Amino acid sequence: MQRVNCLSGKCVLVRRDRFAVDVSYSAPLVQLFKSMQTGQYDPATKRWTFDLSEYHDLVPGLSALSNAARIEGLPRGVLLTFDDVVHGRTSTPNFIPEVDLSCIDAPLAETLLPFQRHAINFGVYRNGRLLIADDMGLGKSLQALALAAYYRSEWPLLVVCPSSVRFAWREHVLKWLPSVEPQYINVVVSGRDPLTSGKVNIISYDLMARRVKDMDAFKVVIMDESHFLKNIKAVRTQAAVTLLKAARRVILLSGTPALSRPQELFTQISSVDHKVFPRFMEYGLRYCDAKKTQWGWDYSGSSNLHELQLVLEERIMIRRLKKDVMSQLPAKFRTMVVLDPGSLKRSRDIKASQKEFDIATGSDRRSALLQYFHETASVKSKAVTEYIMDLLEADRKLLVFAHHREVLDALENAVSKKHEYIRIDGRTSSEARDGLANNFQTNDSVRVAILSITAANAGLHLTAANLVVFAELFWNPGILAQAEDRVHRIGQEDSVTVQYLVAKDTADDSLWPLIQNKLDVLNKAGLSKDAMNMDCTTLMKVFSMQCTSQVLIVSSTGSESADITGSV
């Protein structure tokens, strides 16, 4: 029982080399604080701070005054993390040596920007166990592959990711690690597929949870979108913990590490380094503002977040925002994302349209492509919806463009069940457009703008987002560039990421090279400053296709977009 008139307070880390004592005024305490060599009083915050090296000198004095005040000390994890500072061995940040990357594929090593190389250095310094929590668009997958490649002698490598991006990860490996031949990349698509048949093995969270008992062979693990592990009681989280504890190298990736919701971070922290906070109860009391209710403990709050961030950045996590590295980034970055073939809804109609397009010539070829394009919408609808819903697991705003009403409706139907959104298409009145755009700009809870490529590519200001996703392609790059610029315009303070979702064995096979060719023409004419991230040659390699002489002849009038059935 707390003594009458006995104050309570706590020690809190405020810098990596200084801590504060948060407590109300007490004459005996003030006398003690003044006796410390590094003690400083801040009138603004009304608290005393001290060098961390004096912590063990102050603690005995606080214990001697326990009748006047009960002061909670710094957590064991904090003292462990900053042990060198506590014992006066250093007060400066740890020196992180430059890593020799000559052991990884040259295309990858030569692509890394300075801030990305720093992440590799930090990862090696932390023995290959870390959380890369950079903003979206800063190349987390690139950094993860580089770090994993550094430990290639310990492969096979396992990549765990949302099901919608399994094949996107395959393309990352093909592009950045050309020494890994395609036959050695194993994408697990069912519960019957082998788990370790490749040098690189890629599996979804759901399949990982079902087959974790057979996955003890992996010593190097990349876990993409690791915020999927936020629920400590979920089956996939418990399976992931088992997997990661057995691994020697653990590389977690999350653009939204839930720093304001520390309860959701615990699993990721303990998976990287379980010694920092070995028990959730202690962690919850310190950082989740835990309260005991009649129904049990409530860990939904937050407390001492700055201290937690200092610990994470020292020992667990590297996090850079776009504004921190803006000078190293392009203003706009376009990339192609190959959709999961297992989520594509193929039918006889798409096969018939593909065959008709392949044999069509002359003016018939354009009509055949229009029908092929229409059938592609049906094929991609489920896959793009799954991809967007996976993106929304993170706290970010985004624009998603589509052309066919079928795709727009599917997106709206899925998004509306969990998130606030706006939709603007050809049926939206001019009066309503401005109100919807303003709602997206000013309301943080509105996460998604579902937009028609042809109806919403101009006249809208949507800079509250820095991510643009095209669920469907469109053969007029001018229209696409205009759509991108709903985000990439005056008022945008971040680098913009643009993703084009493409599906193998659909009209996308023909549309993507066509878009690329037209962009090349615009570039040569000085009418476009940006280029796609993947050119036609790369696309052909990704899709295992052959470049043929089948080139779509489209008139230069730009009128080809006027009569596509099903558009809005």
HEC per residue, 97-162: CCCCCCCCCHHHHHHCCHHHHHHHHHHHHCCCEEEECCCCCCCHHHHHHHHHHHCHHHCCEEEEEC
Q: pLDDT value at position 565? A: 31
User: Residue 467 is encoded by which pair of tokens?
Assistant: 């991510």
User: Residue 446 is encoded by which pair of tokens?
Assistant: 């509105």
- DSSP-assigned letter for residue 467: E
* pTM of structure: 0.76
C-alpha pair distances (Å), 108 with each of 86, 177, 214, 538: 39, 7, 31, 15
Fold of 330-561: Rossmann fold (3.40.50)
Q: pLDDT value at position 488? A: 64
* Amino acid in position 390: D
C-alpha pair distances (Å), 41 with each of 35, 50, 51, 306: 12, 9, 12, 19
**Which are the contacts of 119, defined by CB distance < 8 A and separation ≥ 6?**
130, 132, 134, 143, 147, 318
User: Residue 280 is encoded by which pair of tokens?
Assistant: 């959730």
List, in sequence order, every residue forming a beta bridge with 446; answer none if it has no partner: 420
Per domain, the residue ranges of the chain are: 7-86, 106-326, 330-561
Q: pLDDT value at position 491? A: 55
CATH assignment of 106-326, among 3.90.1170.50, 3.90.1260.10, 3.40.50.720, 3.40.50.10810: 3.40.50.10810
560: Cα separation from own chain's centroid: 37
Element (H, E) at 399: strand 398-402
Q: Fold match between 7-86 and 330-561?
A: no
Contact 249, 221 (CB under 8 A): yes
Alpha carbons 497 and 482: distance in angstroms, whole number = 15
Q: Which of 385, 539, 540 is nearest to 472 (CA)?
A: 385
Q: Residue ranges of the chain with pLDDT lower than 70?
A: 1-5, 259, 330-331, 488-494, 518-568
CATH code for residues 7-86 = 3.40.1170.30
Q: Which residue has the tokens 């006027």?
A: 562
Alpha carbons 176 and 101: distance in angstroms, whole number = 14
Q: pLDDT value at position 546? A: 28
Q: pLDDT value at position 536? A: 36
The pLDDT tens digits of the residues spanning 1-26 come to: 444 568 899 999 999 999 999 999 98
Q: pLDDT value at position 221? A: 97
Q: pLDDT value at position 535? A: 38
Alpha carbons 379 and 341: distance in angstroms, whole number = 10
Alpha carbons 204 and 202: distance in angstroms, whole number = 7
Alpha carbons 262 and 227: distance in angstroms, whole number = 11
Q: Which of 44, 43, 46, 40 is nearest to 18 (CA)?
A: 40
Q: Is the dihedral of CA 308, 314, 315, 320 positive or negative?
A: positive
Contact 247, 218 (CB under 8 A): yes
**Burial status of residue 431 (CB atoms within 10 A of its CB: 0-12, 13-18, 19 or more):** exposed
